[in-house]
Chains A and B, each alone.
Chain A
C-alpha cells in the first residue's frame, strides 16, 4: 500500500467520527487533486468542519485512514498536519491580540538564533522583512509590526493566510472564510484563492454559500448529516441543483413580504454614545427611529458596534450620552427588567452566553422573562406546575424539538432548537419592540426560513423590529429601512428598496458618499 503512487494529494478513506449523541462523519471518502479548489458544501452541522479538523489533526478519526501524497499518515495533533504541509484558517481566528502581525505569524516556528553562541534569541526584525516580502508576493498587503488588536477582521484573515504560507503549506483549508467579510472583501479573498491555485497550492473551501463555490471551486463535495451525498464538477452543476443536494429537498429562495405599513414611532434613539472599558467610543452619536410595523435593519461588518447598540437599548450597557425613548417614554436610565416590562424584548447575539442558561432545563429557560410573576411564583415561592404548562405550550407553538420535553437540559439541544426557544420566549411577550441580533447565525436553511417568517409575522402584528445582522442577504430580504454602521457611526439610513447590495457593501467599508 505504501509504495502506491497516487494522483491525489489528499485521500480520506472511509472516515467515521462519533461524538456523544451524534455521528459527525459517517464513512466519508474524498480524493483531492493537487492544485484544485475543492469545496465542501453543507449546512451547519453537516460535518464539514469536523472532517477538516480530522485532516488538520485536531480530531483523530474513529475509523478510516488518511493519505497525503499517496502515503498513509496518522495525525495526533495539528503540529503533525503542519509538518505534512497542511494549513487551516479557522472560522474563529487563532491569533494573539496583543502581539504584532509578524509575532503571530512566526509563533511556534520562530526564527531562532544563538546570541554569543548560547542565548536563544528570536530575530523578529528578520521575520518582519520576510513577512513583508511574502505578503507582497501574494498580494496580501499587511504591515508586520501592527498589533492584531488594532487591525480589522479582513487583515486578520490575511494574517491567517500568511501564517499558512510562512509554514510552507501546500494544502490550505479555509473554514467559512467569507462569513465575516463585506462583499468587496469577499471579491478580494476569492481573487487571492484563485492566485494561490495558480501558484500550485491545493485549496479546500468549507462553505454553505453556493455563489462562492460557483465562482472559484473546481469540484464540490456535498455533505448532509455527516454523510457524503455527492461529488460534482462545479462547472456542470447549477446553483439550484447544489442547493437542493445540500438541503435534501426543494429550496424556496424568496420570502413573501407585504408592503410596509408604518405606524407611530416605537423606538427613538437620539445621539446614543457608548464607551467600552478603555473609554473608547464603540457607538458614536447614533440616532434613528423605528416605527410600529417596520423592520429597521442595521448592516455592518462584525465588530463595528452592533452588539453594543442592542445592549445599550436593552439596558445591559450604560449609555455615555444620548437618549433612548420607547413609546415616547425615556428609558435611558431604567434597569433591564423595567425596560422589558415597558415593552422591549431582545434576542441577543450569543445564545449560550447571553440568551440562555445552558445548564438549566428548557422549562426554566423558557420562563426567564416570567418566573418572578404570577402564576410562576407567588410571594417568592416558585410553582413548577406553571413552568411546565407554559413550556409545553411554547414547545408546541414554536415547534421546539427536545428529547425530554420541558425537562430537557438546554445544552443538549441543537443550536436551531435553542434559538427557537429564545425566539419563542421573546415573541411570546408580545412587546412593542423586538430586537433581533444575528437571529439566524449558525442555523440551517429550514430554521432560517422559520425565523424569517416569524420576524415578518411580528411586523404584521405591528411590532417595531430592530434587526441587526452581518448577513447582507438577510437584511436585503427583510428590511424596510436600512442603516449602515461603520466604526460605531451610522453612515447612511435609507429605505431598503432604494439601496442595492453593492451600495450597502460600500457603506459597510466606510465609504461615505460615492
Chain B
C-alpha cells in the first residue's frame, strides 16, 4: 500500500505530471459518479456503458433503419467540434491570465450574426457560404473579445464582470431579434439555416448508413494545432504567457501589456466565434432565444482537465462530450435523468481544479519518504547538496 502510493506520487511530480493529474481526476470522478448512481439504485457499470453506447463507442442492442454505431459516433463528433473550439477559446485567454467566462455569449453573437447574414441567404453556393460563415464567426467573436480586452485596460473593468454583463446583453438582444424577425412559429426557435451555409453535412450516405459529417471538427483540430504552435514557438505566445504569469515583470521587460491583453482577448473571442458557428450552424442548426449554450461553461472544465494545454483539451473534450452527448441514451436505457451528465461534468471540474493540490501532496509525500530514507539518497525535489539556503523561509 505504501509503495503503491509513492508510485502515484512519483507520477504526479514527474515529467508528465499534468497528464497523470487529469487521469486521476477522471478516475476520482468515475468513483464519485459510481457511488451516486449506486445510491440511486442503478448499476454504475451499466450506466457508464450506456453513455458510451449513446456516443457510438459501444454497440447498442438494436438500431433504427439507416442508423448504426457510426451514426452515433458522427453525432458525437458533431457535438465534440464546438466543445473543442470553446475550450481552446478559454485557453487562449487563460494563458494571458484572463478568465473568459463570456464564451457562451461570444458563441451566441457569432452564431446569430452568421445565421442572419448567411444562414438565411438561399442564393449563396456552399463554396462561398461556408467560408463566409467561418469568417463572420472569427470577426464577430474577435471583436467581442477585443471589446472586453479594451474595457479591461482602458477602464480597468474586470473581464469576469464585463463578460457576465455582455452575456446578458447578447442573450436578450439576439433573443429580441429572433422573436421579432427570425422565429419559427412551430418550434419558437430561430428558423433553421440553409444546408449550403451549415457546417455539418447532413444525410450523407456511408454504405447503407445515413450520417452527419462535421466539418467543424477539422477546423477544431487545425485551431488546436495553431494555438499549440503559437504558445510553444512564437514570440507572441511567449509574451502572452509572460503577461499571464507576471504582469509587472512583463511591463519591466518592455512588453506592451495592454496590447497583449487586447490581442489575447481578441484571439480568445475569435476562437469562441468559431465555436459559435460550429455549434449554431453545425450542431443545432437553430438558436433557442435567450438561452446561452451550456457548452460555454463546459469548456472551462475541458480546459482545466486538459491542464491548459491545447492538445490536452482535444482529449479532455472527448471525455466531457461522452457524458454530455451520451446522456440521452443513458437516460432512456437505464432511466436516470439526463441532468446527471452536467452533474458529472461538475464533479470532473472539481477534481481537475484540485490538480495543484494533488501535485503538492505528492511532492510532500516523496519528500517525507526521502527524509525517512538514509541520508545518502538525495531527495529529488531538493536543491544541490551543499547549496546554502535552498529556499528563503
Among listed A17-25, A252-260, A494-502, interface-contacting one: A17-25
* Interface status of B122 (Cβ within 8 A of chain A): no
* Interface status of A316 (Cβ within 8 A of chain B): yes
Q: Do A22 and B391 have beta carbons less than 8 Å apart? A: yes
**What per-residue 1/0 map shows which CB atoms of A329-357 lie under 8 Å from chain B?**
00000011110100000101000011111
Q: Do A446 and B235 have beta carbons less than 8 Å apart? A: no
**Chain A residues with CB below 8 A from B249, complex form:** 353-357, 368
Q: A18-B371, A47-B393, A413-B383 are contacts. A446–B248 as well, Cβ < 8 Å?
A: no
Interface residues of B in 310-330 (CB under 8 A from A): none
**Can you name 25 A-B residue pairings with CB atoms under 8 Å?**
A19-B393, A21-B367, A22-B390, A22-B391, A22-B393, A23-B371, A24-B393, A45-B390, A47-B393, A316-B252, A336-B253, A354-B248, A355-B252, A357-B242, A359-B245, A360-B241, A360-B242, A360-B245, A369-B253, A377-B235, A401-B387, A403-B382, A412-B383, A412-B391, A414-B392
* Interface status of A108 (Cβ within 8 A of chain B): no
Interface residues of A in 40-75 (CB under 8 A from B): 43-47, 49-50
Interface residues of B in 353-393 (CB under 8 A from A): 363-364, 367-368, 371, 379, 381-384, 387-393
Of the candidates B234, B242, B251, B256, the one whose C-beta lies within 8 Å of that of A381 is B234
* Interface status of B343 (Cβ within 8 A of chain A): no
Q: Do A381 and B233 have beta carbons less than 8 Å apart? A: yes
**Chain A residues with CB below 8 A from B235, complex form:** 371-372, 377, 380-382
Of the candidates A335, A364, A415, the one whose C-beta lies within 8 Å of that of B254 is A335
In whole angstroms, how far apart are the Cα atoms of A403 and B250 in the complex? 25
Of the candidates A44, A381, A412, the one whose C-beta lies within 8 Å of that of B389 is A44
**Chain B residues with CB below 8 A from A44, complex form:** 389, 392
* Interface status of A225 (Cβ within 8 A of chain B): yes
* Interface status of B201 (Cβ within 8 A of chain A): no
* Interface status of A442 (Cβ within 8 A of chain B): yes
Q: What distance in Å separates the Cβ of A318 from its nearest Cβ neighbour in chain B?
A: 12
* Interface status of B238 (Cβ within 8 A of chain A): yes
9 smallest CB-CB distances across A and B, nearest first, come from A337-B254, A45-B389, A415-B392, A336-B254, A357-B246, A21-B381, A368-B253, A21-B382, A22-B390
* Interface status of B236 (Cβ within 8 A of chain A): yes
Closest chain A residue, CB of each to CB of B382: A21
Give the interface of A toward B (CB within 8 A).
18-24, 43-47, 49-50, 225, 314, 316, 335-338, 340, 346, 348, 353-360, 364, 368-369, 371-372, 377, 380-382, 401, 403, 412-417, 442, 444, 446
Of the candidates A18, A23, A336, the one whose C-beta lies within 8 Å of that of B251 is A336
Of the candidates A18, A372, A381, A401, the one whose C-beta lies within 8 Å of that of B367 is A18
**Chain A residues with CB below 8 A from B255, complex form:** 337
Q: How many A-B residue pairs have CB under 8 A?
A: 123
- Known contacts A355-B249, A446-B388, then 12 further A-B pairs from the complex at CB < 8 Å, ordered by chain A residue: A18-B371, A20-B364, A21-B367, A24-B393, A43-B388, A340-B254, A354-B249, A355-B252, A358-B245, A360-B241, A360-B245, A403-B382
Q: What distance in Å separates the Cβ of A200 from its nearest Cβ neighbour in chain B?
A: 31
**Chain A residues with CB below 8 A from B391, complex form:** 19, 21-22, 45, 412, 414-415
Q: What distance in Å separates the Cβ of A35 from its nearest Cβ neighbour in chain B?
A: 29
**Chain A residues with CB below 8 A from B256, complex form:** 335
Closest chain A residue, CB of each to CB of B241: A360
Q: Do B383 and A403 have beta carbons less than 8 Å apart? A: yes
Interface size class on chain B is 35 or more
In whole angstroms, how far apart are the Cα atoms of A106 and B170 in the complex? 50
In whole angstroms, how far apart are the Cα atoms of A43 and B236 in the complex? 42
Q: Do B254 and A20 have beta carbons less than 8 Å apart? A: no
Q: A45-B388, A45-B391, A348-B252 are contacts. A401–B383 as well, Cβ < 8 Å?
A: yes
**Chain A residues with CB below 8 A from B234, complex form:** 380-382
**Chain A residues with CB below 8 A from B236, complex form:** 380
In whole angstroms, how far apart are the Cα atoms of A355 and B250 in the complex? 9
**Chain B residues with CB below 8 A from A357, complex form:** 242, 245-246, 249-250
**Chain B residues with CB below 8 A from A368, complex form:** 242, 249, 253
Closest chain A residue, CB of each to CB of B391: A22
**Chain B residues with CB below 8 A from A47, complex form:** 393
**Chain B residues with CB below 8 A from A46, complex form:** 389
Most buried by A among B234, B383, B390: B390
**Chain A residues with CB below 8 A from B250, complex form:** 357
Most buried by B among A22, A49, A358, A444: A22
Q: What distance in Å separates the Cβ of A176 from its nearest Cβ neighbour in chain B?
A: 13
In whole angstroms, how far apart are the Cα atoms of A204 and B383 in the complex? 31
**Chain A residues with CB below 8 A from B248, complex form:** 353-354
In whole angstroms, how far apart are the Cα atoms of A360 and B381 in the complex? 17
Closest chain A residue, CB of each to CB of B386: A401
Closest chain A residue, CB of each to CB of B379: A21
In whole angstroms, how far apart are the Cα atoms of A359 and B241 in the complex? 10
Q: What distance in Å separates the Cβ of B256 from its nearest Cβ neighbour in chain A?
A: 7
Q: Do A336 and B393 have beta carbons less than 8 Å apart? A: no
**Chain B residues with CB below 8 A from A340, complex form:** 254
Q: A360-B242, A403-B383, A446-B388 are contacts. A49–B393 as well, Cβ < 8 Å?
A: yes
Closest chain B residue, CB of each to CB of A416: B389
Closest chain B residue, CB of each to CB of A43: B389
In whole angstroms, how far apart are the Cα atoms of A46 and B391 in the complex? 10
Q: What distance in Å separates the Cβ of A290 from its nearest Cβ neighbour in chain B?
A: 21
Q: What distance in Å separates the Cβ of A416 from its nearest Cβ neighbour in chain B?
A: 7
In whole angstroms, how far apart are the Cα atoms of A346 and B253 in the complex? 10
**Chain A residues with CB below 8 A from B393, complex form:** 19, 22, 24, 45, 47, 49-50
In whole angstroms, how far apart are the Cα atoms of A355 and B363 in the complex? 27
In whole angstroms, how far apart are the Cα atoms of A33 and B383 in the complex? 37
Of the candidates B233, B253, B368, B387, the one whose C-beta lies within 8 Å of that of A414 is B387
**Chain A residues with CB below 8 A from B254, complex form:** 335-338, 340
Closest chain A residue, CB of each to CB of B392: A415
Closest chain B residue, CB of each to CB of A369: B253
In whole angstroms, how far apart are the Cα atoms of A44 and B367 in the complex? 23
Closest chain A residue, CB of each to CB of B371: A18
**Chain B residues with CB below 8 A from A414, complex form:** 383, 387-392
Most buried by B among A18, A357, A414, A444: A357
Q: What distance in Å separates the Cβ of B246 from its nearest Cβ neighbour in chain A?
A: 4
